[in-house]
Amino acid sequence: MPYIKVYIHFVWSTKNRFPFLDSVELRKKVWNHISDNAKEKGIYIDFINGYSDHCHCLVSLGVEQNIKKIMHLIKGESSFWINKNKLTKEKFEWQDEYFAVSVSESVVDKVRDYIMKQEIHHEKKSFQEEYDEFISKFGFYKTLAK
User: Would 102 be classed as within a structural domain?
Assistant: yes
Q: Are 95 and 71 in contact (CB under 8 A)?
A: no
Q: What is the CATH number of the domain that holds 48?
A: 3.30.70.1290
For residue 9, what are the β-bridge partners?
Answer: 58, 101
User: Would 122 be classed as within a structural domain?
Assistant: yes
**pLDDT at 29 exceeding the cut of 90:** yes
pLDDT, mean of residues 25-49: 97
Query: How much is the pLDDT for 143?
Result: 57
Nearest to 98 by CA among 5, 1, 12: 12
* Widest pairwise Cα distance in the chain: 47
User: Would 2 be classed as within a structural domain?
Assistant: no
Report the percentage of the chain scoring pLDDT > 70.
Answer: 97
Q: Which residue has the higher pLDDT, 3 or 66?
A: 66
Structurally, the chain folds into a number of domains equal to 1
For residue 20, what are the β-bridge partners?
Answer: none
For residue 101, what are the β-bridge partners?
Answer: 9
**pLDDT at 71 exceeding the cut of 90:** yes
User: Would 1 be classed as within a structural domain?
Assistant: no
User: Would 143 be classed as within a structural domain?
Assistant: no
**pLDDT at 40 exceeding the cut of 90:** yes
pLDDT, mean of residues 52-60: 97
User: Would 50 be classed as within a structural domain?
Assistant: yes
pLDDT, mean of residues 123-131: 83
Cα–Cα dist 108/80, whole Å:
30
User: Would 16 be classed as within a structural domain?
Assistant: yes
Q: Which residue has the higher pLDDT, 57 or 64?
A: 57
pLDDT digits (tens, 9 = 90+) for 75-95: 999 999 999 999 999 999 999
pLDDT digits (tens, 9 = 90+) for 87-126: 999 999 999 999 999 999 999 999 999 999 998 888 888 8
Q: In which band, very low, low, confident or very high, does the pLDDT at 138 lie, cut at 50, 70 and 90?
A: confident
Q: Which domain holds residue 132?
A: 7-137
For residue 60, what are the β-bridge partners?
Answer: 7, 44
User: Would 84 be classed as within a structural domain?
Assistant: yes
